[in-house]
Amino acid sequence: MSVHALRGGARAEYDVVLVGAGLVGAALALALAPQSLRVALIEAQPLDQMEQPGYDERTTALSFASVRILQSLGVWSALARHASPIRHIHVSQQGGFGVSRFDAREVGVDALGQVLPNHHLIAALLDRLGRQEDLDVYAPSRVVAVHQDGGRMRVRLEDQTERFEIHSRLLVAADGAESPVRTLLGVGVTRRDYGQSAIIANVSPGIAPQGRAFERFTPDGPIALLPLSEARCALVWTVSSLAQQWALELPDAQFLEELEARFGRRLGRFERVGRRRAYPLALVRSRRMVEGRTVFLGNAAHAIHPVAGLGFNLALREAAILAEILAEATDPGDRDILEGFEQRIERYQDQIIGFSDALPRLFAQRFPGFEHARSLGLLGLDLLPALKTGFVLHTMGLDSGMPALARGSGPSRITGGGP
């Protein structure tokens, strides 16, 4: 990998230019590495400042299928020791009697998923990318203009000192929910504000989670607790937008009391909470996944409610499918190729987005009798083995349309050792 702070030495013509070295852009760059494509990765931030470790580190719940993809990309061996397995998921609602439990053993696997600090994930991806000789990285550099010009995209970059232009046959915008590339190309979004914010923090409960993840639905929104190392849990507590400041400003002891009042004492008393951060929640979906020779991926394509922790998992799957489809292409920006990509991802994407959108709204309904129906729904899920197994396989990211990388059969010429 050559990192270009300046234009000097870089090529101007690429097959694929990826904008954004967040989790999604970095994963796609790695998935493309075995192919003989000229690839450039552009990132606005300095690469060594992407995520910070510590008690307050941010985490991502990875589905079973995502772990398989990361294994195929050759990064899991560096990540496994930092991961906390999810062996059991407990779903309940405040004030309702129904409970549903999902156990890894029921579907014959060791773990339903893994929870991983983001800084380890991005560091492992960037480290592996650093060993790819054919990849050009422009960081810190910002994309400031894009134009389609016949069979190529013209991409204008700006770093601390100058502006310059590179060209590619395919442009992939993995530049986040506010996607500057999407705006520059005039592609609109559909947006639904949930009127909610996710309060994120790491907490230490009295009883170590030991592989248990919890999803608890309250009238204000869901609370997710995911197992982390050092007996911590990653908390994602959804509150109404009006309660955001309240939740951020409460003294620690009171915050933990409020949490316990809603979550109960399944994990004993909460003893510590780290720094709290708020993320206003909205479903933002690009009106198009493909615009000419540009593909939108990750949050640039769809930023979804974090209730089920599926945003990155969905994006990683789509990145793996794109890499698989490009392996067969002579022109990576060819219209038929990109249409094939859209068709392949459409159905599953709609299902996951629909699920993540419906779940918090279903549990937010306050009509008389609704709580009872929901309790029965949770009980039904727990009692009907076929339905439950289907639900679990879905959240594990396992279905018939999985990318080859998730089946462990993708191309393998990623430099730097095996999984």
Ligand X SMILES: Cc1cc2nc3c(=O)[nH]c(=O)nc-3n(C[C@H](O)[C@H](O)[C@H](O)COP(=O)(O)OP(=O)(O)OC[C@H]3O[C@@H](n4cnc5c(N)ncnc54)[C@H](O)[C@@H]3O)c2cc1C
Q: Does 23 bind ligand X (CB under 6 A)?
A: yes
CA-nearest of 185, 134, 171 to 15 is: 171
Q: Minimum Å distance from CB 267 to ligand X?
A: 19
Q: What count of other Cβ atoms lies within 10 Å of the Cβ of residue 81? A: 8
From residue 85, give the alpha-carbon distance in Å to each of 17, 81, 210, 214: 35, 10, 9, 13
Single residue of 74, 117, 180, 333 touching ligand X by CB under 6 A: 180
CA–CA separation, 338 and 322 (whole Å): 9
Q: Minimum Å distance from CB 376 to ligand X?
A: 28
Q: Does 142 bind ligand X (CB under 6 A)?
A: yes
The residue with tokens 């696997």 is 109
Q: Does 310 bind ligand X (CB under 6 A)?
A: yes
Q: Minimum Å distance from CB 61 to ligand X?
A: 4
DSSP character for 247?
A: H
Q: Minimum Å distance from CB 176 to ligand X?
A: 3
The interface region with ligand X, picked from 174-182, 326-334, 343-351, 381-389 by CB under 6 A, is 174-182
Residues 264-293 interacting with ligand X (rule: CB under 6 A): 279
**Contacts of residue 304, Cβ cutoff 8 Å, sequence gap at least 6:** 283, 310, 311, 314, 352, 353, 356, 357
Q: Minimum Å distance from CB 261 to ligand X?
A: 22
Q: Does 25 bind ligand X (CB under 6 A)?
A: yes
Q: Minimum Å distance from CB 113 to ligand X?
A: 9
CA dihedral 238, 21, 337, 412 (to 10 degrees): -110
Q: Does 143 bind ligand X (CB under 6 A)?
A: yes
Q: Does 299 bind ligand X (CB under 6 A)?
A: yes
Single residue of 15, 43, 136, 159 touching ligand X by CB under 6 A: 43
Q: Does 396 bind ligand X (CB under 6 A)?
A: no
Residues 313-332 interacting with ligand X (rule: CB under 6 A): 313, 315
Query: Count residues contacting ligand X (CB under 6 A)?
Result: 32
Single residue of 1, 16, 24, 75 touching ligand X by CB under 6 A: 24
Residue 325: half-sphere exposure toward Cβ, Cα within 13 Å: 26
What are the beta bridge partners of residue 237? 199, 223
The residue with tokens 């999407």 is 182
Residues 217-236 interacting with ligand X (rule: CB under 6 A): 236
Find how far residue 57's CA is from the centre of its chain.
Answer: 16
Tell me whether residue 170 or residue 315 sits nearer to ligand X (CB atom): 315
CA–CA separation, 350 and 344 (whole Å): 12
Q: Minimum Å distance from CB 143 to ligand X?
A: 4
CA–CA separation, 64 and 61 (whole Å): 10
Q: Minimum Å distance from CB 151 to ligand X?
A: 23
Contact status, residue 46 vs residue 134, Cβ threshold 8 Å: no
Q: Minimum Å distance from CB 334 to ligand X?
A: 24
Q: For the residues of 375-419, what is the DSSP string, one character each?
A: HHHHHHHHH-HHHHHHHHHHHTT-STT--GGGGT-S----SS---
Tell me whether residue 298 or residue 410 sits nearer to ligand X (CB atom): 298
Q: Does 298 bind ligand X (CB under 6 A)?
A: yes
Interface ranges with ligand X (CB under 6 A): 19-25, 42-45, 60-61, 142-143, 174-176, 180, 198, 200, 236, 279, 298-299, 306, 309-313, 315
